[in-house]
Amino acid sequence: MWLSGRRYAVLDTYDFDMDKQDRAYVKQSLREAHRKLKNIRRLQFRIRSITIWQKTSHLYKVARRIFNIVEEQPYRFHSARTFFSSYLDSTIAILEKYTFLLSQPVRNAEMMVALKKTEAMLDDIIAALEEELMQVLSDDVLNLNVEIETMKKSLGTRPQYTITASKQEEHKDEIKR
């Protein structure tokens, strides 16, 4: 079992192909990501705009969900590698610069344009994180679709039992006796 923060994450049966180095790398990446997520949360509360706060809140929820999935099922780390290696660092850099510029008492036209571009970029970051979450969950969606098709086929090959009117009358006669 892994000790990860406040709870134990049980290794799944899919973890058999991860060697000791892979496990150590994933564990280290999760520690760094946890620290980065805390940083995003801290930066979120320095933002005073309601709309930007809502965007960063949604961004944090999606990022936290990816983190939780990989923490519970470490074999999924490779499908979320871009999230851990790129998206978190870039998001923190953008949010830090945004909150720094936003906290300045004097603003010029160039600074306002940069702030507006950053606000628009948050939507792109959220879309990228949601796409990354779908990538992490894609195996589950595929497995679910296979199970549904298998169940449809097994239900389709099942013999159909129908009771005809004459059999119903015979059954009623047997009950009366």
Give 100-159 pLDDT, tens digit per residue: 998 888 889 999 999 999 999 999 999 999 999 999 988 888 888 888 888 888 887 766
Number of domains in the chain: 1
Q: Which residues pair with 9 in a beta bridge?
A: 2
- Residue 162 covered by a domain: no
Averaged confidence pLDDT in the chain: 84
Encoded amino acid at 113, one letter = V
Would you tell me how many other CB atoms lie within 10 Å of the CB of residue 124?
A: 9
- Residue 12 covered by a domain: yes
Q: How do beta strands 7-9 and 2-4 pair?
A: antiparallel
Which residue did the predictor score with more confidence, 59 or 162?
Answer: 59
Cα gap 91→39, rounded to integer Å: 10
- Residue 89 covered by a domain: yes
Look up tokens 């006796």; give the residue.
Answer: 177
- Residue 165 covered by a domain: no
- Residue 26 covered by a domain: yes
- Residue 81 covered by a domain: yes
pTM of the model: 0.73
Cα gap 163→146, rounded to integer Å: 33
Contact 1, 11 (CB under 8 A): yes
- Residue 104 covered by a domain: yes
Going by the DSSP 8-state scheme, the letter that residue 161 receives in this structure is P
Range of the domain at 113: 2-157
Q: Which residues pair with 2 in a beta bridge?
A: 9
By the 10 Å C-beta count (0-12 exposed, 13-18 middle, 19+ buried), 16 is classed as exposed
Contact 54, 13 (CB under 8 A): no
Which pLDDT value is given to residue 149?
87
Question: In this structure, what token pair is assigned to residue 129?
Answer: 């994180």
- Residue 141 covered by a domain: yes
Cα gap 15→114, rounded to integer Å: 44
